Amino acid sequence: MSDQPQTTAEQPVQDRPIQTFMRRTSPLNTSQRQGLEQYAHLLVDASISDARQLFSQPEQPLTIEIGFGMGHSLVKMAATAPERNFLGIEVHIPGIAQCAFEAGQAGLTNLKLMNADAIEVLNGLPNGSIDRVQLFFPDPWQKKRHFKRRFVIPERMQLIEDKLSVGGWFHAATDWQPYAEWMLDVLQNRPRLGNVYPTEQYAPRPDWRPETKFERRGHAAGHGVWDLIYQRNSND
């Protein structure tokens, strides 16, 4: 028998990091192409060391939205809160392009967009540097074998807690009740997070989270939407 080391093919292969998303592709329409071309200054590179420095007023509180879809509500939030900076992270190019177009047309200077895996971005940011993390209508990954892909699991929430400043918020919303109950269970057991609505458990939709067309159609059909807002406390 040979004393040589095993070949690479025989050696165990490390698992890839589990992703919480699936990349999708679709053609760009005219406004989306314009968004990428005319408003490219809104797009930022994922290899940043401090997201606050992306903005002309870095001292303003930073909100990061993970998976903003087509970005309609993100643009509205940034437009109505010029005293805050917003960084949207998304992997769907048409959504990024559409959001860039709408933000550019609105002349926003407090919104930047990034095509990246949010987990990788968060890992590179300083602890305590984010005032608010938003996760609105994420993929609930309904099949049990996919539960590990859900964003809200203890390991990922530990990362969120590290990056939030004391007093900062994690705000999630979903229209799928089993996922709402899952998130509530995970978040209730995080010692560094406290429910802003401890009696009700689920929060009323705050005025600063715009209601989407999808959400309005759901309400009309009798479907519920659940918001969860948790605040980072000083426990370490």
**Distance in angstroms (rounded) separating the CA atoms of residues 7 and 211:** 56
Pair of tokens at residue 150: 């859900």
> At which residue do the structure tokens 């960084």 appear?
87
> Are the C-beta atoms of 89 and 65 separated by less than 8 Å?
yes
How many other CB atoms sit within 10 Å of the CB of residue 116? 18
Q: What is the DSSP letter of 189?
A: T
Chain centroid to Cα 32, Å, comes to 21
| 113 in Cβ contact with 67 (< 8 Å) | no
Question: What b/e readout covers 170-197, taking b as 16+ CB neighbours within 10 angstroms?
Answer: bbbbbbbeebbebbbebbeebebbebbe
30-38 vs 93-105: helix crossing angle, rounded to 10: 70
Rg of the chain over Cα atoms, rounded to whole angstroms, equals 19
Q: Where are the alpha helices (DSSP H) in the chain?
A: 30-38, 72-80, 93-105, 118-123, 154-163, 177-188, 213-220
Q: So which residues are the catalytic ones?
A: 139
